[in-house]
Amino acid sequence: MEQLKKLLRDPLIHFLLIGAATYAAYGLLDPGADAEDAATITVSQAEIQSITEQWTRLWNRPPTKEELAGMLRKHVRTRILYKEALAMGLDRDDQVIERRLAQKVELLSRSLVVPQLPSDEVLAAWYAENPEQFRAPDTYTLSQVFFDPDQRGASTREDAVAALATLQSLAAMPEDLSGYGDSGVVGNYYAGRSELELGKVFGGGFVNQLVTLEPRRWNGPVLSGYGVHLVYVHEVVKPAPPALADIREQVQEAWMLEQVEERSTAFLDELVERYEVVVEATEVPLTVPPAQAGE
């Protein structure tokens, strides 16, 4: 009994069972499938009913005999072309079909395990280990000078580098930066702005570079979607993570997601292990990343 329980917990076994059940269900729904040989198309009662229902859903009335015949003709044609395509091997070497099927397996693997809700202790311990993703974004106080490629063309970067040397040589921050670059596009000074807020002003590419800048000195050139910037970071504030009680719902969702990810990854790893992988290109050392399937 214990062994059976263990067996049922095993995701791979689970998956194979579900696969078998899906197959059985399909066989039940489509009795024609078994009976069909290569040159026979059987349209089952269930299929006719399903086609009729689809029509009714669209038009709010059942199809007439002619309409049904038309739909069936189209259906049969699709089935025949599908069979021909399979026979010709057109499903092979088609990246869209490959990826779609791989993704179906991946999604199925995710639905295998619905984790139990975590206890308070489990959640608190997990949150203590993973506070980063729940922390509010860093806030920056910064000054910046902008160099506009629309106005300066090829010399934009050069101008910025020259101004950087001047600014770095100053003993103190000038009170008015408007004489150093081009105005009219963005402001010179932003106080206590979160990364998200700065993203609204300067774009994502600019914000991603902020973390690499040395505080309390002029840095640059920093690029944005507008052009070239010199940046002086006065202060970076990293907010403390919120109390668990305030964001319990979010933390629990993230915990559940991680559980599902872990089980799904473990399962896909196991699946890959059942294969011997031969890579013919010798110059590429390759390990197959199992979790990437279908992505």
Residues of this chain that bind another protein (CB under 8 A): 53, 57-60, 95-96, 99-100, 103, 107, 110-111, 141, 143, 148-152, 159, 162-163, 166, 170-191, 196, 199-206, 216, 224-227, 234-235, 253, 257, 260
Give the phi and the psi of residue 94 in degrees, each rounded to 5. -115, 110
Which CB sits closer to another protein, 40 or 225?
225
Which CB atom, from 19 or from 187, has the smaller least distance to another protein? 187
Structure-block tokens of residue 242: 């919120």
- Say how far apart CA 232 and CA 224 lie, in whole Å: 15
| Residue 77 beta carbon to another protein: minimum distance, rounded to whole angstroms | 16
Q: How far is the CB of 246 from another protein (least distance, A)?
A: 13
Two tokens at 200? 């609204």
Which residue, 113 or 123, has its beta carbon nearer to another protein?
Answer: 113
Q: Cα separation of 124 and 262, whole Å? A: 19
Cβ contacts of residue 254 below 8 Å, gap of 6+? 130, 133, 134
19 vs 204 by CB, closer to another protein: 204
**Tokens encoding 123:** 């959640």
- Contact predicate 68/55, CB 8 Å: yes
CB of 103 to another protein, least distance (A): 6
Our CB check for another protein shows the closer of 37 and 249 to be: 249
Residue whose entry in the numeric block shows the structure tokens 């088609």: 94
Instruction: Find the shortest distance in angstroms from Cβ 115 to another protein.
Output: 13
